[in-house]
Structure 1
Amino acid sequence: MEMHQVRYFLAVARRLNFTRAAEDCHVSQPSLTRAIKNLEIELGGELFRRERSNSHLTELGQVMLPLLKNSYESALAAKSQAEKMKSGTMASLRIALTQSVDFDIVSDSLQEVGRSFGEINISCQRLSRDGVLKGLRNGDVDICIAGSLGESWERLDNWELFVESHAVAMSVEHPLAHKTELELADLAGERLITRPYCSMWADCASLLAEAGIDIDNCHEAGSDRDVIRLLEAGLGIAVVPTSTRMGDKSCKVPLSQVFKKSVHLYAVAGRQRSKALNGLINLLRSADWERFQGLGVPT
């Protein structure tokens, strides 16, 4: 089935006249009639009942009309999008973040890309560390933002964006919330909410255990959103990166111990990138990350 056959069919269905349909399509009537006949052969029956100057859709034609109309409109939409992507007026951005990375890290840069490049389609996924590597290798994502992936791959572009410290997060009504700084020893006896999805959790757990913190009798969260909800319910405290956005009923208190986490931008070297994607990468690499390196982040 050729798209010009579908176009001719839709023109005849609209005009119910082969001569006028041929004029609308800027082809000769014999060419249009031949194309319709070939379409009827492929579909296995007549699409029109011809009656002198007027024609009418057969039962098969009536059934085919909405289906072929949708197919033709979808093809036109696909062509339009392809032309926009080729001209750079539309771009697709497929971004992956690990569960421990706050979306605030990319939101400002995405907003700037939207202003600069017009129409963009954004796909944002939350993946595990292994999922990030798989997504990059398979071409399912264009870039990802995560902690250290701990793996060397010759095709992996790796830019460190910033290094942040950690803080203790809790409900605003927690007795420790009024402190200006906390030490690990202050967490003794507190019910901990762990973040096993974070790439730094193994190091964090080791430090907590050395300080005598019970890391076995604890709550386990599956995302930072879950951590915040547990904190707001007064069900414990958590050690989180300073970039983690708190809710209205939760807060962060700086942790005196030096415990750092590096946040990286990853892409695949040598893979073709759109102007919008290159723009996003450049914006992220040149951004001022000072607000994420201390506790001066929005809460």
Structure 2
Amino acid sequence: MIGVIMDFNQVRYFLALADTLNFTRAAEQCYVSQPALTQAIKRLEVELGGELFLRDGRYTEITELGKSLRGYFEQIDRTRHLVRTTAKAVTSGEIAELNIGVMCTIGPWLITAMLDTFQIQHPMVSIVLHDVTPESIPSLLLSGALDGAFCAHHNSPHSQLRYVELFEEAMVVAFPLGHAFAKMDAVPLRAIAKQRYVDRLHCEFRQEMIEFYDRHDLQQDVAFRSQREDWIQSMVRDGMGVSVIPRFSLLHTEIDHRPIIDPPLSRRVEFAVVNQTEIPPALDELIEHATKYDWSVSKLS
């Protein structure tokens, strides 16, 4: 079969005839006349050097050669569809690489689950994830280094950024299994001050907690400080102290937690982009997907 030349239409006609074993129905399925389909099949047989179908009046049967080549033709047809889809995606700007920041204090499993469903629905979009700190997000977005960022804050937004709210997340006190806090339904912030504490340096509420303790003449017993969320939780798990952590950022099953009261603490998790009139189609699709995604508390619990 060296030197065989065939076109996509011949492959399409062959597969239609192999499915229907009827020239009339195959021609209707391919939106061509029956003589045109018959001639195309004959040319294909000449090019391949053997019959693909046996014809006996109205009866049509696929030959052994046809059966052996059917899988290859199906692969060619899939390639045809992929070529057309890819060409359409390229010309319409659907193929893209998005650089997305994820704030270091946001639970990774929460974001990756949403991104997985997005990528399945948009296979032409490649996503590069970047671990970023809260203070670096505005400059990374405004410089173009990032296309968007998952972030969380509870204070004033940046004037040049647009924020799409995703869900509200409570802050909790995390502690090792068997800790005295496990007997409480909720833990007052004052009670946390009396415990050995592991200080999260990237905590959005860190300054507010310091000011709260100062107002109430409380001295926080800080045993360890770290910027690394995984280190913080490992230290809590190992009994080295308690820590205030976002509810959905907890990674270890060996860590227990309770809500915080007096005062309660919570943050908005959002997707931030540069506030501009036009944004790339792929980024627009991601924003729409994130907005419609089910972030319900029952699903996150």
Bin of the TM-score, shorter chain as denominator length: 0.5 to 0.7
How far does residue 249 in structure 1 lie from its aligned partner after superposition? 1.2
Q: Which position in structure 2 is the counterpart of 1:103? A: 108
Count the aligned residue pairs: 214
* Distance change (3 Å), C-alpha of 1:114 and 1:88: farther
Residues in 2 aligned to 1:135 and 1:223: alpha-carbon distance in whole angstroms:
20
Asked if structure 2 preserves the Cα contact closer than 8 Å seen for 1:143 and 1:267, the reply is: yes
Residue 173 in 1 paired to residue 174 in 2? Answer: no
Q: Which position in structure 2 is the counterpart of 1:282? A: 288
Could you give the per-residue CA deviations for residues 169-194 of structure 1, whole angstroms, max 9, x where no partner exists?
01113232343222223324311111
Range moving further from structure 2, 126-135 or 82-91: 82-91
Range moving further from structure 2, 157-166 or 203-212: 203-212
Could you give the per-residue CA deviations for residues 215-242 of structure 1, whole angstroms, max 9, x where no partner exists?
3633112132121111111100001122
Return the letter of the residue paired with 1:269.
Answer: N
Q: Which position in structure 1 is the counterpart of 2:239? A: 234
Residues in 2 aligned to 1:220 and 1:85: alpha-carbon distance in whole angstroms:
48
Asked if structure 1 preserves the Cα contact closer than 8 Å seen for 2:195 and 2:221, the reply is: no
Unmatched 5+ residue regions in structure 2?
1-85
Residues in 2 aligned to 1:259 and 1:108: alpha-carbon distance in whole angstroms:
25
| TM-score of the superposed pair, with normalisation by structure 2 | 0.62
Range moving further from structure 2, 267-276 or 233-242: 267-276
* Distance change (3 Å), C-alpha of 1:214 and 1:247: same
Residues in 1 aligned to 2:116 and 2:282: alpha-carbon distance in whole angstroms:
12
Structure 1 residues 1-299: aligned runs within 5 Å: 85-87=90-92, 90-148=95-153, 150=156, 152-154=158-160, 156-211=161-216, 213-215=218-220, 217-257=222-262, 258-270=264-276, 273-291=279-297, 297-298=300-301
How far does residue 163 in structure 1 lie from its aligned partner after superposition? 2.6
Identity %: 18
Return the letter of the residue paired with 1:197.
Answer: H
Structure with the bigger percentage of strand: 2
Q: Cα RMSD over matched residues?
A: 2.8
Residues in 2 aligned to 1:284 and 1:211: alpha-carbon distance in whole angstroms:
41
* Distance change (3 Å), C-alpha of 1:117 and 1:297: closer
* Distance change (3 Å), C-alpha of 1:176 and 1:152: closer
Range moving further from structure 2, 135-144 or 176-185: 176-185
Return the letter of the residue paired with 2:281.
Answer: K
Q: Which position in structure 1 is the counterpart of 2:39? A: none
| TM-score of the superposed pair, with normalisation by structure 1 | 0.62
Asked if structure 2 preserves the Cα contact closer than 8 Å seen for 1:187 and 1:213, the reply is: no
Helix, strand or coil: the match of 2:137? helix
Helix, strand or coil: the match of 1:165? strand
* Distance change (3 Å), C-alpha of 1:289 and 1:206: farther
Residues in 2 aligned to 1:177 and 1:216: alpha-carbon distance in whole angstroms:
20
Could you give the per-residue CA deviations for residues 102-126 of structure 1, whole angstroms, max 9, x where no partner exists?
2234223211211111143221112
Helix, strand or coil: the match of 1:146? strand
Asked if structure 2 preserves the Cα contact closer than 8 Å seen for 1:158 and 1:264, the reply is: yes
Residues in 2 aligned to 1:82 and 1:202: alpha-carbon distance in whole angstroms:
52
Residues in 2 aligned to 1:221 and 1:102: alpha-carbon distance in whole angstroms:
17
